[in-house]
């Protein structure tokens, strides 16, 4: 009888544990999220694009031309300068593609 009672208690405690674990496990983080931040400056010539992140930490994710993603603090001066340069570069590229005259084919 004691063994039977112990088995029932063990099953109940495992069931309770999976409910708690399921609650924590259901809170997923984004696939591309920063936890650790790189603080040394990255050469702008290596950066192709960037993404902003607010959760779990406020950061900027620089994407290099090789596709490597590097997380950096959003409030550093060199980060803001690089973002500004990337935005200007994107604006110039967009302006070039929209201002091209359409070729006239007869």
Q: What is the dihedral sign for C-alpha 30, 53, 72, 88?
A: positive
- Please give the radius of gyration of the chain, using alpha carbons only, rounded to the nearest integer: 26
On whether the pTM is more than 0.75, the answer is: no
CB atoms inside a 10 Å sphere around CB 34: 21
Which residue ranges make up each domain of the chain? 30-95
Q: Domain spanning 30-95: which CATH class is it, in words?
A: mainly beta
Do residues 83 and 60 touch, judged by C-beta distance below 8 A?
yes
- For 22-57, the pLDDT digits (tens) are 444 444 545 667 767 888 888 888 899 999 988 778
């Amino acid at each position: 009888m004691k063994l039977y009672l112990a088995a029932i208690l063990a099953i109940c405690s495992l069931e309770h544990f999976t409910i708690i674990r399921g609650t924590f496990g259901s809170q997923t983080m984004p696939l591309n999220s920063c936890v650790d931040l790189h603080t040394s400056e990255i050469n702008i010539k290596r950066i192709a694009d960037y993404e902003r992140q607010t959760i779990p930490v406020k950061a900027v994710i620089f994407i290099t031309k090789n596709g490597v993603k590097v997380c950096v603090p959003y409030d550093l001066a060199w980060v803001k300068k690089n973002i500004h340069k990337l935005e200007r570069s994107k604006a110039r590229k967009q302006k070039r593609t929209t201002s091209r005259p359409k070729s006239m084919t007869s």
